[in-house]
Structure 1
Amino acid sequence: MILVTGATGTVGREVLRSLPAGPLVRVLARRPERVTPTATTEIVQGEYGDPRSLARALRGVTAVFLVTDCVGEDDAGFLRAARRAGVQHVVKLSAAAVEDPHADDPITARQRRNEHLLRTSGMQWTLLRPRSFMSNTLSWATSVRTEHVVRALYGSSANACVDPRDIADVAVRALTLPGLRGQVCTLTGPRAVSAVEQTAQLAELLGRPLRFEELEPARARALWSERHSAPVVEALLHSAQRQRDGAKARVENTVAQLVGRPPRSFRDWAAAHLPAFTPS
């Protein structure tokens, strides 16, 4: 049996959708009503801080797709429960920033600690380290629909962002086939792309002009503070500075090697999500 956590999130939702028919899949969810189940999905209501719900969710599970909150949750309690339950393999969603020694913000430091906890847990493991999600650009949707504008920090800096569907495809391979145990998989798109280029591609797909507006760091901090806690805001600013310095432009061939096709481009992702950017 496979347990999927984070099944209502960006990647977990795609993992649940992409798992092949046949094996029983269980989902651990705080809000089960938000999960879109398949015919072979069993849903357990619970959360990482509740040992009883963890025990219920992990009973009979051999492999786990693990997603934990980048701010408030360590993996220690979950991994202890998984090992007690006899779980053999954990596929963990991490981040490419972990391998960058200049990424010293609290969120990346927590991800490094959680990776270490898994590596030393006594269970087999696979680490997925994606670059930024292409879906992060959904934060532009309202301004694109209502103002025909994209606002971003360091708009000419490049990021080898990745389609969450490609992350999910690699995760499914790791969960269902043995070859990726003990492997670290850094996942990127096919080329690094800047926010200015993304704006131009969206405009072309939408068939209408869009304007790019460069944000100053102080303005970005103020906007992000409306939606995120202070530690997350500072981590985002630090991440943007690293991107400005070229830290996120490197392209890896991992997706193609593991799933047998090229990774999807930002244009591919945007075409599939165009309704989000289209006025009613």
Structure 2
Amino acid sequence: MFVVIGATGSVGREAVRLLLQNGEKVVAVTRDPAAVLPDGAQVVIGDPSRPDSLTGVPDGIEGVLLSPRAVGGAAAELLTLVAARGARRVVALSASTVEHPAGHQRFADAFRAVEDTVWRSGLQWTFLRCSDFAANALAWAPQIRATGVVRGAYGGAASSPIHQRDVAEVAVRALAARDHAVHASHAYLLTGPQTLDQRDKVRLIGEAIGRNLAFQELAPAQVRQAMLAQGLAEDIPDRLLGSLADNADKPGPSTDTVEQLLGRPALTFAAWAAENRAAFASPARS
């Protein structure tokens, strides 16, 4: 039995599906009582940042997939809880910025702090240090549907975005595959297969939906102000613009680790865009 913390996130949901597909029992932890999760998952409603609320987590756990953003500062308490329920190993989602700095240092430090907590837990561990998710481009969907123009800063900022399914599949291998032990005490740097800047991503989304799209360059201060005006917390533009600024000067890392671990090429951003074309397509007019 495996526990997925952050089960409604892009990686967590895929991991739940893959574990069930492999015949494993899954406990999916979510704050949302209305969350819709794959059939067969045992859903536990509670707040991972308050582990004492997770009274429904059963005994007999083998391992846990941990999303740092779901647990906040409560990683140590959560790991103590799952260890008491029998967990022997943990796969923790982390960020490529831990070893390839980009953006504000405090964000990388937060991921490193979670890694340190996991390392001290005594559980068998694997860290997945991910590049930016392809799914982050969903933030552009309203602009694309409405105008066909993405307005943002640092159009030349380049990274190798990763498909959440690749991250989830690596996580499931490290948690539940028969050879899971070979992944113990490894920190994997996971990226997509291609280095793309923001204009490239917009172009590929346009190809997926059969529409000519454009990227309009704005000043970073203008983008930041617009995000704050939408009611977003200051950390969100700080996280986004800081990484973009650095990746405009130096592209983010690119590895073939996914292919080495899974025995197939990492999924491309174009494949992700094709799968998610409905999110970007304009509604049909009657």
Alignment of 1:231-246 (within 5 A): 231-246=235-250
Contact 1:71 1:107 in 2 (8 A): no
Match of 1:26 in 2: 27
Match of 1:215 in 2: 218
SS in 2 for 1:56: coil
Match of 1:105 in 2: 105
SS in 2 for 1:35: coil
- The structure 1 residue matched to 2:188, chosen from 165, 168, 185, is 185
- Which whole-Å deviations, capped at 9, do the CAs of 1:119-163 have from their partners, x for residues lacking one? 111111110111000011111111111101012221122111101
Match of 1:259 in 2: 262
- The structure 2 residue matched to 1:230, chosen from 234, 240, 258, is 234
Cα shift at 1:103: 5.0
Gaps of 5+ in 1: none
- Which whole-Å deviations, capped at 9, do the CAs of 1:46-95 have from their partners, x for residues lacking one? 12244444353152211001113279434122122223333100011111
Gap change, CA 1:190 and 1:101, over 3 Å in 2: closer
* Whole-angstrom distance in 1 between the partners of 2:147 and 2:71: 32
Residues matched between the structures, number: 278
Match of 1:44 in 2: 44
Contact 2:95 2:128 in 1 (8 A): yes
Match of 2:174 in 1: 174
Gap change, CA 1:74 and 1:244, over 3 Å in 2: farther
Match of 2:273 in 1: 270
- Which whole-Å deviations, capped at 9, do the CAs of 1:150-181 have from their partners, x for residues lacking one? 12221122111101111111111111122211
- Which whole-Å deviations, capped at 9, do the CAs of 1:203-227 have from their partners, x for residues lacking one? 2222222121012111111122225
- Which whole-Å deviations, capped at 9, do the CAs of 1:90-118 have from their partners, x for residues lacking one? 01111111113565432221111111010
Identity of aligned residues (%): 36
Contact 1:96 1:131 in 2 (8 A): yes
* Whole-angstrom distance in 2 between the partners of 1:70 and 1:245: 31
Cα shift at 1:255: 0.6
Match of 1:35 in 2: 36
* Whole-angstrom distance in 2 between the partners of 1:49 and 1:135: 24
* Whole-angstrom distance in 2 between the partners of 1:135 and 1:102: 19
Cα shift at 1:200: 1.7
* Whole-angstrom distance in 2 between the partners of 1:257 and 1:108: 25
* Whole-angstrom distance in 1 between the partners of 2:101 and 2:143: 35
Which one is further off, 227-236 or 191-200? 227-236
Contact 1:190 1:265 in 2 (8 A): yes
Alignment of 1:71-82 (within 5 A): 72-82=72-82
Amino acid at match of 1:73: G
* Whole-angstrom distance in 1 between the partners of 2:58 and 2:123: 14
* Whole-angstrom distance in 1 between the partners of 2:218 and 2:144: 15
Contact 1:130 1:187 in 2 (8 A): yes
Contact 2:145 2:282 in 1 (8 A): yes
Amino acid at match of 1:98: V
Normalized against structure 1, the TM-score is what? Answer: 0.93
Contact 1:105 1:238 in 2 (8 A): no
Match of 1:125 in 2: 125
Gap change, CA 1:51 and 1:100, over 3 Å in 2: same
Gap change, CA 1:247 and 1:75, over 3 Å in 2: farther
Amino acid at match of 1:231: D
Cα shift at 1:183: 0.9
Gap change, CA 1:233 and 1:72, over 3 Å in 2: farther
Q: Once superposed, what is the RMSD of the aligned Cα atoms? A: 1.8
Gap change, CA 1:74 and 1:221, over 3 Å in 2: farther
* Whole-angstrom distance in 2 between the partners of 1:60 and 1:113: 28
Gaps of 5+ in 2: none
- The structure 2 residue matched to 1:196, chosen from 181, 196, 199, is 199
Which one is further off, 205-214 or 131-140? 205-214
Normalized against structure 2, the TM-score is what? Answer: 0.91
Amino acid at match of 2:260: Q
* Whole-angstrom distance in 2 between the partners of 1:4 and 1:229: 26
